[in-house]
Structure 1
Amino acid sequence: MRVGLISDTHGLLRPQALDFLRGSAHILHAGDIVGPEILERLGELAPVSAVRGNNDLGAWAAGLPHALRLELGGVGVYMIHDLKELDIDPVAAGVRVVVAGHSHKPSRVERDGVLYVNPGSAGRRRFTLPISVGELFIEGGDVRVRLVTLDVE
């Protein structure tokens, strides 16, 4: 199962991000979406699950959860916008993957058997950070992640 990862679009859904996410079985958006049209366009590619980021304001965002627990391919996945606000113990909760955004810095760290993934920012460039997305490959309980810097220049 291929799960597309995107975060911090801030109202800008680049064609390169759409191309990368095409073919995903599911797409996770880790917040700072900044408009319902982003989720609508992603939803044309695959089912989308999203959490509310600190810039997701207004009536359209009121229905987005602060955090979300999912089972994808038999693997527990927990998503929250800002990892500093993590409100569960992933190991005790049986979560294998935690997806977060907010920092705009792509990262992959494994601690105590839990994979913490930040796909970075797919929206407007912040400082000198890359424009990036990611993908999870879930197969038979195994999880691999790949983070990709998009060529947007």
Structure 2
Amino acid sequence: MKKILILADTHMPKKGKKLPEHLLGVLKKGVDFIIHAGDWSEKSVYEELNLYAPVYGVKGNVEIDEWAKKLPDKEVFQAEHLNIAIVHGHLGKGRTTPDRAYQSCIEDEPDLIVFGHSHIPFMEKRDRIILFNPGSPTDKRRQKEFSYGLLTIDANEIQLQHHYFT
């Protein structure tokens, strides 16, 4: 069984000086790895998350530091039987962020596309592909609550859900 924390749009330290206590509680309980769909803002976010579990992530549209040049625009990897693609969602063709994410990853034949950019929690199935935006744990914008995602993979079953907090 794998437990995966899904984040995007942390925008730290501008929108949050530190990871929220709620999120730290999840990390301290343990996850197998972390997905971050961009807009970290600074390398320190990556470094802190990496203290808890291995991190897979992509570049967003706000990273300007030298370390961000090493981040890919897209990452595709296997977790158990699941083919996961990660993009931020600001690049590519499509009128909406989910459309851009879908179009930029479709050729990779993913089972799950994780994206960010809009700060809006989103989950939709298109054909056999699940599109998932965790929202933001530090910059909720017009959302009522902060959010993140948790993915559990157990044998051939997956459970993917948003978690909300104030």
So what's the TM-score if we normalise by structure 1?
A: 0.90
Kept in 2: contact 1:101–1:120 (CA 8 A): yes
State the secondary structure of the residue aligned to 2:49. Answer: helix
SS at 1:62 equivalent: helix
Give, in angstroms, the shift of residue 63 of structure 1: 0.5
Instruction: Confirm or deny: 8 A CA contact 1:31 1:81 kept in the other structure.
Output: yes
The alpha carbon displacement at 1:129 in A equals 4.4
Long gaps (5+) in structure 2 = 90-97
- Show CA shifts across 1:92-146 (max 9, x none): 5331110001110111111111111110011233134421011111122322201
Instruction: For 2:144 and 2:41, locate their aligned partners in 1 and report how far apart those are by CA, in whole Å.
Output: 20
Distance 1:129 1:103 in 2: 14
Provide the aligned C-alpha RMSD in A: 1.5
Indicate the residue corresponding to 2:59 in structure 1.
Answer: 52
Count of aligned pairs between the two proteins: 149
Cα distance change of structure 1 residues 51 and 125 upon mapping to structure 2, 3 Å threshold: same
Deviates more, 1:78-87 or 1:132-141: 78-87
Alignment of 1:77-92 (within 5 A): 77-82=84-89, 83=98, 84-85=100-101, 86-89=103-106
Worse overlay, 70-79 or 125-134: 125-134
Structure 1: gaps (5+ residues): none
Q: Does 1:62 align with 2:30?
A: no
Give the Cα separation in 2 of the matches to 1:106 and 1:127. Answer: 11
Counterpart amino acid of residue 18 in structure 1? L
